Each structure stands twice: as structure tokens, then as C-alpha cells.
Copies of this chain bind each other. A is one copy, B any other.
Amino acid sequence: MSKYNIGVDVGGTTVKIGVFDREKAAIDIETKTSIPTRTENDGVHILPDIAEAIAVLMEEYGAEMDDVARIGIGVPGPVITDRKTGQMFVNKCVNLGWSSMIDVPQELSELTGVQNISVINDANAAALGEVIAGSCSDKTVVVVTLGTGIGGGIVQSGRIMPGAFGAAGEIGHIKIQPQHPLIKNLSTLKPFADLEYYVSATGIARTAKAALQILPDQSILRDDLNAENSLTDKDKTSEDTGNSLNWPDAKAVMDAAKKGDALALKLTDFFFDTLGIGLASVAGVVDPDMFIIGGGVAGAGLFLTDGLQASYRKYVFHASSETEFRLAVLGNDAGMIGAACSGN
């Protein structure tokens, strides 16, 4: 009885749900499913949809709802815990259509019959998952997820640091003025903005587009752009061909830099330098043992962590210069795994 934990990762388009055997390793998924996130009508369908999907998944797996010991659910918004009652609220989630304070554990408990439910910020859930997978639960770890934005989570001795307003680890919103000389040439970029403006996957693509538009440098990024363009009929009929080009994404920039493309290397240098300032600031606050870098951009592998660590050391207070840099390992399951392990 009660031998399973359920991990739920609620994204803006998809909800991922996994079943975990409490007697096995925390990262071993017994079975999983995913459903679309219905954000219409202020997202009123989301929790009922999740409850139904959990029931179906458990039935297909051949177990009862009574076998569920607990559910952990990760959401893309700030989670606040009432210090007196221990109640956990989600304080608005624009990506889900939730515009008010919602007691997610209470509502999901009524829908599923499961009593032990906890809610966690999705970036924090992913951070917790990576720390468990990396066997570094005895350390202070900052997990940085470079995707559409930048997600971050701080894990101390295996526990998430939530923050007073559910916003600890929101390092994508630290304000940064890039110091790399490239910024002076890229006049279409803001000179001072949120860290994620420059170094999320979106930020890398933004910087690449600005560089290709403004700088005369030859680059395989430009060749690719033209090649794509010549193949695409709709571009030729578009009035504003500039906007309909397939500008390079973060992966294209990283790949070109690895091949030695000079412009792409300028872009990755800018990326390393700017994120290096940001992570040095993070270390000036929490001085972690380790950064774990995840998200789509982390597909660039050691090229990314080595370059980033070198820039970080330029800017960080000397005491913290030996901070370890690692790549995330769980990919898209990190949030689901971490959510399943969160709570008590």
C-alpha cells in the first residue's frame, strides 16, 4: 500500500506526469504520460485534467489510487508557504492563466483523494531533480536552466531554498550590463537588462540576429541563413524579408562556434562573459559548491561549461574561484523527478 510517489511538471503547453516507486532510485520512472495544458478560462481545467490523467495512468500501470503515497507538483510561478500553517499557495501563474492565489495542494487533494500533496516552483523542481541525479545532495548547488528564459534553483543539503516570496533562484531577472566589447557594436540590443535577455536560448538567438544584421563579418551562420532563405518560397513574397528569415537559434550559434566560425566565437565569447558576470554575482551571494547548467543550450556540453567557468573566474571574488561546473543530466524529466522528490 502507498508505495508510489507521483511527480507532476506543469508547463505552459504540456503537463508531464510520472510514477515513481518509493523503494527504487528517485530518478527511475515506472511509467509516465503527458497531457496538454488547457490554459483557457483562467486555467480552471488544469488541476481536474491532472487528477484524471493520474487516475488513468495508475490504472494503466495496474495500481490503485490508494497506492499513491504522495504527489509533488511543479508549477511555473512563485510558490509561497504560510509559515504559521505550512499551507503552500501558488501566487499567480500567468503562463497557466491562474490570476489569483491558489491553494494547489488543497484543490488537487480534493480531486484525487491523496492527502500528502506539495507544490514547488518548476525551476526549483528541476534543480532538485538534477541534484538528486548528480548525487550532490550534501552540497550547495545552483542549477541554471538556459531555455526560453533562465530558470534557476538553489539546493542546500538536498533542500530547495524557496525565498521569502517564492523567488529565490530567479537569477534570470538579475540586472546586468554586459562588459564584452561586442555590446558596443550591437546597437539594437539594450545595454542594461535582465540576465536572461542576453544569455537564455532566446537571448543568444537575439544577439546572433543583431550581429548578423549589423556586423559585416563573414560567417557560416550567414551562409546557413541565406541557404534556408533561398529554399523558402514564402520569404520571396514577404514584404519584410528580414523578419521572415530563419535566424540562427542558440544551438546553431554553439555548433558554428565549435567549428571555429569567427563570428559565432564572438557570440559565444559574449555569452560566456555576460553569464560569467551573472554567475559571479550569484556566487557573491550564496557561494555554492557547484553550478549545474541545464536547458537546451547545455547541449553544447563541455564547450559551454569550460568557457563559462573561465569567464566566471575573471569576475568572481577569489575565495569562490574553485566552484565546480557540471552539465545537467536529466533533460526534460528533471522537473517531474524533482517534483516527485519534493515535500515531506
Contacts and interface: CB of A to CB of B under 8 A. Distances in A.
A281 B286 CA distance: 12
A169 to B, nearest CB: 7
Interface in A51-109: 78, 83, 91
A277 B280 CA distance: 15
A173 interface: yes
A165 B286 CA distance: 10
A168 interface: yes
A283 interface: yes
A154 interface: yes
Contact of A138 (B83, B283, B285): B83
Contacts of A39: none
A319 interface: yes
Nearest to A177: B177
A18 to B, nearest CB: 28
Contacts of A161: 156, 286
Contacts of A174: 280-281, 284-285
A286 B168 contact: yes
Given A170-B319, A192-B179, A154 B285 contact: yes
B281 A170 contact: no
Q: In this complex, which of A164, A166, A170 has the most chain B Cβ atoms within 10 angstroms of its Cβ?
A: A164
Contact of A168 (B78, B162, B169, B285): B285
A171 interface: yes
Given A174-B281, A177-B192, A317 B167 contact: yes
A76 to B, nearest CB: 13
A175 interface: yes
Interface of A: 78, 83, 91, 138-140, 154, 156, 161-171, 173-175, 177, 179, 192, 277, 280-290, 315-317, 319-320, 322-323
Contacts of A139: 164
Contacts of A323: 164-165
Given A170-B287, A170-B320, 9 more contacts: A140-B163, A140-B164, A163-B320, A167-B284, A169-B285, A170-B319, A171-B284, A174-B285, A175-B277
B285 A285 contact: yes
Given A179-B177, A179-B192, A192-B177, A287 B320 contact: no
A183 to B, nearest CB: 11
Contacts of A165: 287, 319-320, 322-323
Nearest to A174: B284
Q: In this complex, which of A162, A168, A287 has the most chain B Cβ atoms within 10 angstroms of its Cβ?
A: A287
A320 B167 contact: yes
14 contacts: A140-B164, A154-B285, A163-B287, A163-B320, A164-B323, A168-B285, A170-B320, A171-B284, A171-B285, A174-B280, A175-B315, A281-B281, A285-B285, A285-B286
